[in-house]
């Protein structure tokens, strides 16, 4: 027969270790998994050229102009509008459609729900095949472009991603 006695301190030690292990397992189970952040994408434009598009290191107006020029657009150097926007917690039909446009570009606004972003709007001066005003909107969080579009100002106009024919 084997007899082993436990002291109260030993029971407390194993109790604390047990609670710590359960807490660790719970944390691992409930920590959300994050997709890797896309910092650059290889894209094919409508002219057939393949380009490496960089979405990070956007700090100044010059950085934003450089980002826009990656798509072949020329814009007025001063943005028409700089606005802080908040991504809604619940997407309505219109915003769901807009997010689908973002997903086609390799971005997703789902992870920015309830977050504040900066929207910069520039007038494109070299948009071929359209006579009206065309604008590019870029959404920036921190120092990274997280979304955006090219659109016309007409009520019967258009909206598309940064590239006219996006094949990401």
Average pLDDT of span 97-102: 95
pTM score: 0.71
What would the DSSP string read from start to end of 97-165? HHHHHHHHTT--SGGGTT-EEEEEEEEES--TT--S-EEEEEEEETTEEEEEEEEESSTT--EE-SSSS
Domain residue extents for the chain = 40-160
The answer to whether residues 87 and 109 touch, using CB atoms and an 8 Å cutoff, is yes
Rounded CA-CA distance 96/119 in Å is 18
The answer to whether residues 119 and 82 touch, using CB atoms and an 8 Å cutoff, is yes
pLDDT tens digits along 126-153: 998 888 999 999 999 999 999 999 999 8
Q: Is the pLDDT of residue 24 over 80?
A: yes
Report the SS3 class of residue 92. Answer: coil
pLDDT tens digits along 56-65: 999 999 999 9
pLDDT given at position 148: 96
pLDDT given at position 168: 36
Q: What is the mean pLDDT of the chain?
A: 84
Average pLDDT of span 92-120: 94
């Amino acid at each position: 027969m084997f007899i082993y006695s436990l002291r109260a301190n030993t029971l407390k030690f194993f109790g604390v270790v047990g609670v710590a292990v359960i807490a660790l397992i719970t944390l691992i189970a409930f920590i959300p998994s994050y997709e890797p952040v896309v910092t650059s994408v290889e894209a094919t434009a409508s002219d057939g050229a393949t380009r490496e598009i960089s979405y990070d290191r956007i700090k100044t107006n010059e950085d934003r102009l450089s980002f826009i020029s990656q798509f072949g657009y020329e814009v007025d150097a001063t943005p028409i509008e700089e606005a802080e926007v908040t991504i809604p917690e619940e997407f309505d039909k219109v915003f769901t459609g807009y997010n689908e446009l973002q997903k086609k570009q390799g971005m997703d606004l789902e992870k920015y729900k309830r977050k504040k972003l900066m929207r910069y709007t520039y007038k494109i001066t070299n948009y071929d095949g359209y006579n009206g005003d065309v604008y590019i909107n870029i959404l920036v969080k921190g120092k990274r472009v997280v979304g955006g579009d090219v659109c016309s100002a007409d009520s019967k106009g258009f909206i598309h991603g940064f590239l006219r024919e996006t094949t990401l």
